[in-house]
Amino acid sequence: MMTGPSPHLSWSELACHDGTVYPPEWRATRAIPLAAEFERVRAALGGRPLTILSAFRTPEYNRRIPGAAKASQHVQGRALDLRPPAGVSVDELLAAVLSVARRPDSRIRGVGRYSWGVHMDIRPGDRLARWSGAKPVQVART
């Protein structure tokens, strides 16, 4: 029995750290597609488990995070911050996320590299936003 939108992603992992559950009205339209991309990234890493550092955030919780974007995809329930598994570098995780994002059928539209891991999101649009640290840069999908 699954406890989330995919075999390796639970509803509790998608919940805000303030205890707010992932919004039920977004489960089919946002959580399921996000979870599908998460599963693809996990498969690209040979099925190794990934730690979810942050997923859905309430606007109030998001405001408490230093440097968080006001229009964060986390507030829209479309983003995951991932920590690489043991033995995998941040750059290797980034390469796995980008390999999935470059697939023609991928819904990943945002990828950020940080010292702690990788942000991925399924924002609307047809371009892939990439950044390192806090500075976003728009680039065409490849």
Q: Which of 80, 78, 77, 71 is nearest to 22 (CA)?
A: 77
Tens digit of each residue's pLDDT (9 = 90 or more) over 10-59: 999 999 999 999 999 999 999 999 999 999 999 999 999 999 999 999 99
The pair of structure tokens assigned to 108 is: 């990943």
Q: Which residues does residue 130 pair with via DSSP β-bridges, in sequence order?
A: 111, 137
* Alpha-carbon gap, residue 15 to 96, rounded angstroms: 24
Instruction: Collapse the DSSP code of 4 into the 3-class scheme (helix H, G, I; strand E, B; otherwise coil) and give the result.
Output: coil
CATH says 11-139 is which class? Answer: alpha beta
Q: What pTM value is reported for the model?
A: 0.92
Confidence of residue 114 (pLDDT cuts 50, 70, 90): very high
> 104 is written with which tokens?
């023609």
100-109 pLDDT, tens per residue?
Answer: 999 999 999 9
Neighbours of 37 (CB within 10 A): 22
CA dist., res. 10 & res. 90, Å (int): 23
What tokens appear for 86 in the block? 């043991």
Report strand pairing: 79-83 vs 51-54. Answer: antiparallel
Which DSSP category does 24 fall into? Answer: G
pLDDT score, position 133: 82
> Could you give the CA distance from residue 41 to residue 47 in angstroms, rounded to a whole number?
8
Nearest to 54 by CA among 82, 87, 78, 90: 82
pLDDT tens-digit profile of 50-102?
Answer: 999 999 999 999 999 988 889 999 999 999 999 999 999 999 999 999 999 99
